[in-house]
Amino acid sequence: MIANLSPTSLLILAVSIIISLVIHEFMHAYAGHLLGDSTAKYEGRLSLNPLNHIDPLMTVVLPVLTLILFGFPILAAKPVPFNPDRLKFDEFGAAILAAAGPLSNLVLAFISALILRNVSLGSFMVNALSTFTYLNVALFVFNLVPIPPLDGSRILYAFAPEALQQILREIEPFGLIIVFALVLGAGLGGFLQSIDQSILNILP
């Protein structure tokens, strides 16, 4: 799917990334709002306007390159701010907020896969929805990796003992470097791709 991408396929991929990421970030902000924290709302993040969420380099260029190189996207948007002291359920509220983003990607993948299976479409739309489905599965899986600043680390943090919480806090400034090192040197990319494919196989 990612080899020899045409300009049209790259455009589809870029648009898919923007849509998927904006909804992902919006759901973080919306979950925080529902849990009692209006920080994201006051900073304009409770919005579907892409300009409020995306960073041209980290949100568009980086995921395209890493999808081509590794088979799945590594990307980042502007972090959605939240105040853990205002959230209901303390650390578990933060975990719910974190989970809202990846779960939105899984829902988007399910919907697009459902359309692909049940609606007769032209080749362009089949390509677009196939890319959208694959991307959202990859975003769901990648963001659940329990290494900060990825969402999976915040979910793990809520259930981890204090010693592990301290480790997560200490490695957070180096988190993306650690992720890249694992992808390049420890086979994380292939492992994540196998999970992606397993999920794709059970979608409608």
Is residue 172 among the annotated active site residues?
no
Do the Cβ atoms of 20 and 73 come closer than 8 Å?
Answer: no
Distance, CA of 148 to CA of 3 (rounded, Å): 30
Which distant-in-sequence residues (6+ apart) come within 8 Å of 128 by Cβ? 12, 16
Cα(2)–Cα(193) distance, integer angstroms:
13
Q: Give how far Cα 88 sits from Cα of 38, 118, 149, 156, Å.
A: 12, 40, 21, 18
Count CB atoms within 10 A of the CB of residue 186. Answer: 11
Contacts with 121 (C-beta within 8 Å, 6 or more apart), sequence order: 115, 129
Which listed residue (25, 162, 170, 172) is catalytic?
25
Q: Where are the alpha helices (DSSP H) in the chain?
A: 7-34, 39-42, 62-70, 90-118, 123-143, 151-159, 162-171, 175-185, 188-202
Helix 62-70 to helix 7-34 angle (10° resolution) is 110
Residues annotated as catalytic (active site), given as ranges: 25
